[in-house]
Structure 1
Amino acid sequence: MVVTEKLDGGNTLLHAGEVYSRSIAAPSCGKWMAMVKKHHAWKVDEADVYLYGEDIYGVHSITYEPVAEHETFRAFALRDGDGAFAAFADVEAYAKRLAIPVVPVLFKGVFPSVREARAFVEHAHREPSVLGGEREGVVLRLARRFPAKEFRDNVCKSVRIGHVQTDRHWTRNWRPCELAAPGRQGG
């Protein structure tokens, strides 16, 4: 298993040099995609590679500590043209090769029982975000490669109670996250 922090951002896809938000019907033109376009979209130019991540440049419900502008997008999954999600180690290797940050990893290994996995998740929910501020949740996934059609059987998301804490969609009055001063390492 791999357990990563579920960041409070926009689920974003980088594919063939473009940025997509939730759907590959058309590239996103939202201003909240400015940093991922500037720093990373152009790097993922293969026609058969789909890199998914959370983009925290546009603040949703949680305000994190200041982050370097090239770290507002954090990769969490890689899908290939064959319709399979890569092993998490391959996600990390691909992202490292392209200098793209990965979501915070909280655990890699084997849980001896469901009870111990559940206890880990409950404890993780009580901890603050690795990026500062409140933690939105965690994502559990198998470490190995698996077919996209088996996604529901291999990935589980757990978010904090009441994780949507606004009555209007964040894009209605969007604001950028606080960026770290140039030369300073972000969260």
Structure 2
Amino acid sequence: MLSEKYGRTYHYPFSPGTTSDDRINHTYWEDIQQIGTLTHTEKLDGENNCLSCHGVFARSHAAPTTSPWTRELRERWELMKNDLGDIEIFGENLYAVHSIEYRKLETHFYVFAVRYLDKWLSWEEVKFYAALFDLPTVPELKIDSVKDFTQASLQQQVISLAQEPSVFGSRDPQTGMDCTREGVVTRNISEYPVSEFARNVFKYVRKGHVKTDEHWTRNWKRARLIWESGKEKQNELETDR
């Protein structure tokens, strides 16, 4: 294995979108009380990809990915690879539509974490390295001081954030109807050791989120960017004239 894959993020116990192989952190409140400040970010519906000096990886880090929906990202990596060193950049690749179709995407890759050797870097450093390589980060929804919350009020905060639409305009590709965001990821705003990942990152996923089967890769389609949608509408108007 060329590098260690991204750890599995444990669900909050009140996350309704768990499946049979998901893990739940039943002691999340005890873990959160050891953290000073939390940041809540939007959980985007794509593929977890990692950019390291060794290549572009999907969930498995045994070998770099060669999937067609990472072609654009692999081209970008070619321009970055000699500057990454021991930095590994993790992000959500939205090039292929999964269970949510986003209508306001400006690009297809959004950074959510950066690993440096045995540490997951702070959220500020994640934003720093993303900007350094001219990459956007996942939407930051809220920053909270843990001391300002009870367990019940934190739970309500996460559920409330999860019930909003995506920052990028979320639509169900099967029905064409607007829908809520996939969920929320809460993390320690500070850096923490790789070995402590499960005690510093938590997620909430909406109920019944995954509507595409495991073979979505056979009939996948590319997600349009916001400027492409406008261009398409303009072409339609010109055709109608």
Between the aligned partners of 2:125 and 2:49, the Cα distance in structure 1 is: 19
Tell whether 2:144 aligns with 1:109: yes
Distance, in Å, in 2 between the alignment partners of 1:93 and 1:102 is 10
- 2:113 is matched by which residue type in structure 1? A
Match of 1:61 among 99, 110, 113: 99
Measured after TM superposition, the shift of residue 181 of structure 1 is: 3.0
Q: Residue 121 in 1 paired to residue 121 in 2? A: no
1:57 deviates by: 0.5
Which position in structure 2 is the counterpart of 1:85? 120
In 2, the alpha carbon distance for the partners of 1:180 and 1:38 equals: 21
Structure 1 residue 167, shift from structure 2 partner: 3.0
Q: Which moved more, 1:56-65 or 1:44-53?
A: 44-53
Q: Distance in 2 between matches of 1:41 and 1:9?
A: 22
Superposition pairs of residues 108-187 of structure 1, within 5 angstroms: 108-111=143-146, 112-133=149-170, 134-181=180-227
Deviations 1:116-169 (A, max 9, x none): 211111111210000101300000000010011110000001111011112343
Aligned mate of 1:74, from 110, 115, 129: 110
Gaps of 5+ in 1: none
> Residues 54 and 64 of structure 2 are in contact (CA less than 8 Å); yes or no, is this contact kept in structure 1?
no
Pairwise CA distance, 1:34: 2.1
* RMSD between aligned residues: 1.7
Per the TM alignment, residue 24 of structure 1 is displaced from its structure 2 partner at its CA by 1.8
TM-score, normalised to structure 1, is 0.89
- 1:33 aligned to 70, 74, 99, which one? 70
The AA in structure 1 aligned to 2:205 is V
Alpha-carbon distance in structure 2 between the residues aligned to 1:72 and 1:21: 15
Secondary structure of 2:145 counterpart: coil
Local SS of the residue matching 2:92: strand
Partner Cα separation in structure 2 for residue 174 and residue 113 of structure 1? 43
Q: 1:92 to 1:59 in 2, by over 3 A?
A: same
Q: How far apart in 1 are the matches of 2:64 and 2:122?
A: 26
Hey, what's the Cα distance between the residues in 2 that align with 1:41 and 1:64?
27
What number of residue pairs does the alignment pair up?
180
TM-score by length of 2: 0.70
Displacement after TM superposition at 1:173 (Å): 1.2
- Structure having the higher Rg: 2
* Structure 2 residue ranges without an equivalent (≥5): 1-37, 171-179, 231-241
Contact 1:17 1:41 in 2 (8 A): no
Q: Secondary structure at the match of 1:23?
A: coil
